[in-house]
Structure 1
């Protein structure tokens, strides 16, 4: 570990194999908290390196608890977090809306570390129980159209990292890795990033998974999702573009419209209000925009506005609310 840390502090990029070795040591408990903090700090002080992210991802997926979907094609809607915006749980809500529209969702997420309330925090507040038992998860997916992969149960390597991340309370490369680590390797992914350069890294990595269709989003004002507060850069296997709020059929929002509060109970209140169709127009619109883009990831031949309309119908009809009821 000493030689790898020396290389990092000299700002020399790690090869994919060296990065794999480093994170394998961390995951296997062979690195101290001080060494883990040193790794996080050294990597935070310079731009992301593709070979390092690839190697870190290789190690994490190798150590992960596997899930076999038996060929079922699902979608994950997930962001890096770490954008510092304190929005409500847009990606998690979008997942329920997409499931309500009839598309199976395998959602990967965890507790908030660099943000106030993560997807796991709000789901616990709603009464969701987590498991990594494959038969139970597949039964839940069949019944509710969604199941949740709580990252600590699927990535035991992270138990060695969580105390350090909570102590540092800063965004790290683990934020970047999270959306790339869904243990089910879903056929479709909508991934949000806090940084445009991170979006490019994702694009390079996912190009090597030819069977996976993906959309990568970075709002130009810093959100790791479609925020409708301004334009967003969007990438897929077929190219890149800039989407404005009007492309979704919506007006531009203000940042205050998306505030989610600082507690899981506040997040739960907004979550239920969206599903119960009592939320603000802004909250409803931003969820429909992200859910619509997720549906378009599955059906790229369809117009974005048609996909957004399908998402809106999932909410208005109560189908998205029914997903939560069946999940619980």
Structure 2
């Protein structure tokens, strides 16, 4: 297969830097990932880049450059409101939980925030956000224009990654063959097609929270919380403290959140309380939490993650008010109404 000398030279120069443990600039990463998702770039070059970065360790500049390249190739939707909220995670957490961020997204919408939820089908797990929403009745084939109209009319919409990121999928088979965690495992939360500017992002390792916050700031996000549960969850957890790196007013700070403060008198939650299953089982859990029939730790973890987004969006002054607003979203029926309205809109 013939290859442009320019492309070959760009990759060779980058790989030389990487094996010497020198970091790429944001601009270099952008150019490389433009080529990485091109159908004309040989897999051997892409594999070398992904493996080399994984061994060296990615930086926030490399992450931001790659995210900008993928964003440029995505099908985009326009949302007139601001802030636009997304709750998502990298995956790779220790436990197979139910779809916490997806459930929380409807609670956040029910509290009056505009939500552009970005997600995918499962890759190696039991149930991704797209899987559980399809089990609830959502039409995953809804075109971007329909999703855009849904967000405007309902206040929440779901963007299924394969529908919006066709270029992203070109590396899927290669990444599976590599069998290692690569930068692509981190890029999903950073390439929201609606350009969400208020984000709650769960990560699979505590040392990533500040790196992600810096990448989000570079990408133009104005308010964010990057979270890692000390029990290994890529969520704000209720079984242990959560490390939170918060981006607000261009400043970044890190602290620990203790869940027992917000649920006094309740028994300590265990990971088993949060376990999920396949799409149908998780859809039952999602609906049960939203209709108020399921309480306890499963409801509480949704309340905390929703509260984070409500606070980050400026709807609540602090965590206590955020939790109270999340409770009201469920109790009033607004959260469930958002789910039902989004499903109906997707099937038009």
Q: Distance in 2 between matches of 1:129 and 1:168?
A: 32
Query: Is the counterpart of residue 242 in structure 1 residue 256 in structure 2?
Result: yes
CA deviation digits over 1:109-130, x for unaligned, max 9?
1112243211111112222113
Matching residue of 1:277: 292
Q: How many residues align?
A: 327
TM-score in terms of structure 1 length? 0.91
Tell me if structure 1 keeps the 8 A contact 2:236–2:304: yes
1:199-238 equivalences in 2 (<5 Å): 199-208=209-218, 212-236=222-246, 237=248, 238=251
Contact 2:75 2:144 in 1 (8 A): no
Which residue of 166, 188, 192 maps to 1:156?
166
* C-alpha displacement of 1:93: 0.3
Is the Cα–Cα contact under 8 Å of residues 293 and 304 in structure 1 kept in the other structure? yes
Describe the SS at the equivalent of 2:240.
Answer: coil
Structure 2: distance between partners of 1:271 and 1:71:
26
Deviations 1:224-275 (A, max 9, x none): 11111111111223422211012333554211111112x2222222222222
Matched with 1:47 is 57
Moved over 6 A (4+): none
**Most deviating of 92-101 and 149-158:** 149-158
1:324 aligns with 339
Correspondent of 2:318 among 303, 308, 317: 303
In the aligned structure 1, how far is the partner of 2:94 from the partner of 2:197? 29
TM-score of the two chains, using structure 2 as the length reference: 0.86
Q: For 2:340 and 2:153, how far apart are their aligned partners in 1? A: 10
Q: Name which of 265, 270, 275 aligns with 1:254.
A: 270
Aligned partners of 2:339 and 2:315: how far apart in 1? 27
Q: CA shift at 1:293, angstroms?
A: 1.3
Report the secondary structure of 2:269's partner residue. Answer: coil
Shift of 1:316: 2.1
Change (3 A) 1:166 1:280: farther
- 1:22-61 matches, within 5 Å, as 22-61=32-71
My pick for the range that moved more, 301-310 or 126-135, is: 126-135
5+ residue gaps, structure 1, are none
Q: Which runs of 5+ in 2 are unaligned?
A: 1-10, 344-348
Find out whether 1:146 has 2:176 as its counterpart. Answer: no
**C-alpha distance 173-134 of structure 1, shift in aligned 2 (>3 A):** same
Aligned alpha-carbon RMSD (Å): 2.3
Residues in 1 aligned to 2:52 and 2:234: alpha-carbon distance in whole angstroms: 23
Aligned: 1:172 with 2:159:
no
Q: CA deviation at 1:153?
A: 1.8
Per the TM alignment, residue 169 of structure 1 is displaced from its structure 2 partner at its CA by: 5.5
The yes-or-no answer on 1:313 pairing with 2:316 is no
Task: Measure, in 2, the Cα distance between the counterparts of 1:67 and 1:234.
Answer: 29
